[in-house]
Amino acid sequence: METLHDKKLKFLEEMANKIRREIIEMLTEAGSGHSAGPLGMADIFSAMYFHILNHDPKKPNWKDRDRLVLSNGHICPALYAALANAGYFSVDKLSTLRKINSRLQGHPHRGSLPGVETTSGPLGSGLSQAIGMALAGKLDNKKYRVYCITSDGEHQEGNTWEAIMYAGNQGQSLGNLTVIVDRNNIQIDGFTERVMPLEPLKDKYESFKWHAIEVNGHDIEEFVAAINEARAIYEKPSVIIAHTIPGKGVSFMEKDFRWHGKPPSGEEAKRALKELRTLGGEIKSEHE
């Protein structure tokens, strides 16, 4: 991974804002989908696809690529925007989100799009899949790393904790696995701590023998530092609990769980895009 110098950091922040604008445009065109989570994770997707991951959009099935598993598939608009801007497919295809016969389904489908590692939708399955990929890498003596993005809400699923317990017990066999938890504190029915409390989340991971780090999920420099720390841990899997603001960048969506699974209307989209444009990030990728 290259050094995160000031110029690259600025690019990543601008790319994150571009991804946010494209999320709004995609959801408005589709008339359905999830707003809060994708907006909250734009900074992390920017950092992953434009700085952290060892990958090649021209060779999406390259055997030595890092793998990114999106367990909480409902935030796929952020994944699709990142993949398109990275060059996996044309940016103009983003407007087909959730349309009939579109490759950009409402939840990712492996085989429909290059760069999509797993099919996801039912929450709680992604970590088990990521563990399998990471173990396979170790068995094949590969250097690639596996990253799994999960929601905090899916930590209310029993199979998530089975996977956490299993991974922790594998020790150095899963030193190539890093989980990223989107700790935005909301789910479709309300705030996580009211629906089914998760805290102390970091302590729980540590009790199952994980290396646990907490970061501000909107501070790209802090997040990259956490990734570097996780890469230096060989004897156990790592988890980065990234505290994010759902609906980040759009004032009337931020911290409002009602935007978990709702798209903006035409007028709401105009307001949202106006706010996002004031944040900058008017970059265009070479693929547009």
Walk along the chain (288 residues) and give the pLDDT tens digit of each residue. 778 999 999 999 999 999 999 999 999 999 999 999 999 999 999 999 999 999 999 999 999 999 999 999 999 999 999 999 999 999 999 999 999 999 999 999 999 999 999 999 889 999 999 999 999 999 999 999 999 999 999 999 999 999 999 999 999 999 999 999 999 999 999 999 999 999 999 999 999 999 999 999 999 999 999 999 999 999 999 999 999 999 999 999 999 999 999 999 999 999 999 999 987 656 654 333
Q: pTM of the prediction?
A: 0.95
User: Sign of dihedral through CA atoms 54, 55, 61, 66?
Assistant: positive
CATH number reported for the structural domain that contains residue 265 in this entry: 3.40.50.970
- Within-domain flag for 223: yes
Host domain of residue 266: 6-278
- Within-domain flag for 285: no
pLDDT at residue number 114: 95
Strands (E), 48-123: 67-70
- Within-domain flag for 288: no
Q: Quick one: 271 exposed, middle or buried, by C-beta within 10 A (0-12, 13-18, 19+)?
A: middle
pLDDT at residue number 285: 40
Name the CA radius of gyration of the chain, rounded. 18
Round to whole Å and give the CA distance between 37 and 4: 26
pLDDT at residue number 284: 53
- Within-domain flag for 179: yes
- Within-domain flag for 287: no
Taking alpha carbons only, the member of 100, 74, 75, 30 closest to residue 269 is 30
The answer to whether 40 and 243 have CB atoms below 8 angstroms apart is: no
Round to whole Å and give the CA distance between 267 and 162: 44
Domain count, the chain: 1
- Within-domain flag for 212: yes
Round to whole Å and give the CA distance between 172 and 235: 4
pLDDT at residue number 25: 97
- Within-domain flag for 286: no
- Within-domain flag for 283: no
Taking alpha carbons only, the member of 129, 124, 12 closest to residue 74 is 124
